[in-house]
Amino acid sequence: MSSSSFSPPLFPDSAHTEAEQEALRWLRFQRHFALRPERVRDALLEGHDPGTFALESNRAMATVQGNERDRRALRLLEALDAKILPLGSRLYPSLLAELPDAPGVLLVRGRVEALETSGVAIVGARAATRAARMKARELARDLAASGVTIVSGLARGIDAEAHRGAIEAGGRTIGVLAGGLDPVYPPEHRALAEEMAISGAVLSEMPLGTAPRRELFPLRNRIISGLCVGVIVIEARKRSGSLITVRHALSQGREVFVVPGAADGPFASGSNGLLREGARAVSSAGEVLEDLGGILGIARHEAASVEVLNEPSLSGLSGANPSEAAVLSRLSEGPANRDQLLRDTPLDVRVLADVLLDLSLSGRILEERDGRFHLRFSRTAAGTED
């Protein structure tokens, strides 16, 4: 067994290096056993060689040695600047390694060391209400500003808002993909994934190129909760995939928190049901830190003195001219593309283009690859005015 992750260089058509051969063995191993992690965990932790174990378990492995598919995968791995992290590696996240179904191999983009930091997951609906999305971003922002790593699934809705909130705080966030590391799903989050990898990470247990099929999402969810000491649920329906994450969390001994939702609609019926089953209701990062501070290694009083981020609707409008204020006010309600901004503000095409350029250059808004704009939050010290 190796004691570290692999980040192999692109090899020439001639002889492979020892590191490249080792990486190829793990990629082949992953391709055959990604869907059967419980079969390989004990064998790997006992020190069995991955290549030997794979051959003994599946004779078909012998036919893929030197397969061009493996070589393409290795080249793609390098192009992504990704690392292979086998179970048993000294860099493999310790909380995840404790699980009986821990992934045999992780592919990781970004900072591998982020996987060992104190993490809290934030999960919820893809088609979330505006209030729920704002709460997810707020909680992620405040927790990340306190040093907590935010973990989620890079999905639309609550997941994406949690990742963005952590980034706005200048903190760490980890995204766990249901499919392969490439291509990123959903595709409009590719730029978000790249931004996350700067201080955090994006990872998958599935081989490169794996499509995010329905049956892979429950497997993904066990990793989300497995990386964390607690899970926060925001707005989940009765049949929400977030409840699968909760079941994993409970079986893994993780704490479960719920942001209460409206009682007169279907949007939070599943998450509100968790409250009746004993989950802790929370409305702020401080309440989460109060419960998890000892586990996270973060004292409650530290959270009161860290930097906080002002809501853009309150701080971003100061000093803005009327045209800028119109755009900032609209974006305070959520991301929007140019057509939506034209519809929702009194600006014409030319004026809007100038305003978007000025706001982007000044760092008050950010344009994503899908053409949507969203606000950046301003940073001030707690207890002070912007």
Using the predicted structure, report yes or no on whether residue 310 has a pLDDT greater than 50.
Answer: no
Per domain, the residue ranges of the chain are 18-80, 113-305, 310-381
Quote the CA–CA distance of 126 and 137 in Å, as a whole number.
14
Residues counted in the chain:
386
Quote the CA–CA distance of 63 and 7 in Å, as a whole number.
25
What Rg do the C-alpha atoms of the chain give, in angstroms? 22
Quote the CA–CA distance of 378 and 310 in Å, as a whole number.
6
77-99 pLDDT, tens per residue? Answer: 888 888 988 888 888 999 999 89
Asked if the peptide bond before residue 186 counts as cis, ω within 30 degrees of 0, the response is yes
Using the predicted structure, report yes or no on whether residue 3 has a pLDDT greater than 50.
Answer: no
Q: What is the pLDDT of residue 161?
A: 94
Using the predicted structure, report yes or no on whether residue 326 has a pLDDT greater than 60.
Answer: yes
Q: What is the pLDDT of residue 15?
A: 43
Q: What is the pLDDT of residue 67?
A: 65
Using the predicted structure, report yes or no on whether residue 53 has a pLDDT greater than 80.
Answer: no
Quote the CA–CA distance of 323 and 351 in Å, as a whole number.
8
Using the predicted structure, report yes or no on whether residue 167 has a pLDDT greater than 90.
Answer: yes
Arithmetic mean of pLDDT over the chain: 78
260 DSSP assignment: -
Provide mean pLDDT across the span 334-355.
Answer: 88
Check residues 69 and 54 and name the one with the higher pLDDT.
69
Q: Which CATH architecture has domain 310-381?
A: Orthogonal Bundle (1.10)
Highest mean pLDDT among 104-118, 249-263, 281-295, 350-364: 104-118
Q: Which CATH architecture has domain 113-305?
A: 3-Layer(aba) Sandwich (3.40)
- 31: nearest Cα among 104, 112, 115, 110: 104
Using the predicted structure, report yes or no on whether residue 72 has a pLDDT greater than 90.
Answer: no
- Name residues whose C-beta falls within 8 Å of residue 97's C-beta, 6 or more positions apart in sequence: 45, 87, 88
259: β partners: 234
Using the predicted structure, report yes or no on whether residue 176 has a pLDDT greater than 50.
Answer: yes
199-236 pLDDT, tens per residue? Answer: 999 999 998 889 888 889 999 999 999 999 999 999 88
- Name residues whose C-beta falls within 8 Å of residue 248's C-beta, 6 or more positions apart in sequence: 221, 222, 224, 225, 226
Using the predicted structure, report yes or no on whether residue 171 has a pLDDT greater than 90.
Answer: yes
Q: Which pTM value belongs to this model?
A: 0.70
- Name residues whose C-beta falls within 8 Å of residue 40's C-beta, 6 or more positions apart in sequence: 29, 33, 53, 57, 87, 104
Q: How confident is the model at residue 335 (pLDDT cuts 50, 70, 90)?
A: confident
